[in-house]
Structure 1
């Protein structure tokens, strides 16, 4: 009789430790989602408001550079905004996991959607990074000249907006790994 009681107590202790671990991971998940929201939203806003106008010979003729002149930068803004919106909508699930650590189906859904967001954010960031590189370095073989010498403020801003997305990408990877870890402990 004592042996059964000891086994039951051991299983209960392991179950309590497992529940605490899941709750701790859920809190970390929530915090990482908040950081990723700030990073993706800041990136989308910074890129979406990037604009610079240079005067030419007269004040009537001006050259203007906007983010939406380049489709890759538009893709970046859309991907960052969608990822930010998704992260905001996923916060209630993250809170649910803090309250109820046994919610497994929602973790599976979050893993799938986090993976989709990771892929779209990576695609948008990679496309924008190639344009930022061309803007800074150019490509003489293709007759593409670097225009960052003329549009310095524009280039600094688009380069800076990339930082947030390159912070959010590893955060998504960590979120996926944490959710998979909790699911494997079931």
Structure 2
């Protein structure tokens, strides 16, 4: 169902555009599922590549809600443990944290119940994330919420760009599996 001429126009030759490549790979994958035309179109047009930065970031909230919903949590747990997500294990390594922007680190360390101790006013209790894929999903959901609730100084486009740079392919894998 995907047309090679369209793909060649969008790719534009030798340009490196990983999100576009992932979109076409997804369209080819969906084509193998034998879906009817309407279902095929729905699955392709909902791909994160075609969404706005705000809508892409909102998907993390949608998937986190599915993860904690008793009706869908087993499906999400099964998906997150698939080998497609192996590269996202240990996502919060010291090298990844060192390359995060300050707003991303602020969310990583955020705790609304933060209290200074009387003997050390700079000591704060921080939110903790393990290195699991589940924790990465929770962190990205929190990043989206903090952007909207805390009115971060950076733009949503910048947040989305940093997420795609730091965790490239994660949202696409979530979309494919969920």
Determine if the TM-score, normalized by the shorter chain, exceeds 0.5: no
- Shorter chain as denominator, the TM-score bin is under 0.3
Larger Rg: 1 or 2? Answer: 1
Q: Name the structure where strand makes up a greater proportion of residues.
A: 1
Q: Name the structure where helix makes up a greater proportion of residues.
A: 1
Normalising to structure 2: TM-score of the pair?
0.28
Normalising to structure 1: TM-score of the pair?
0.27
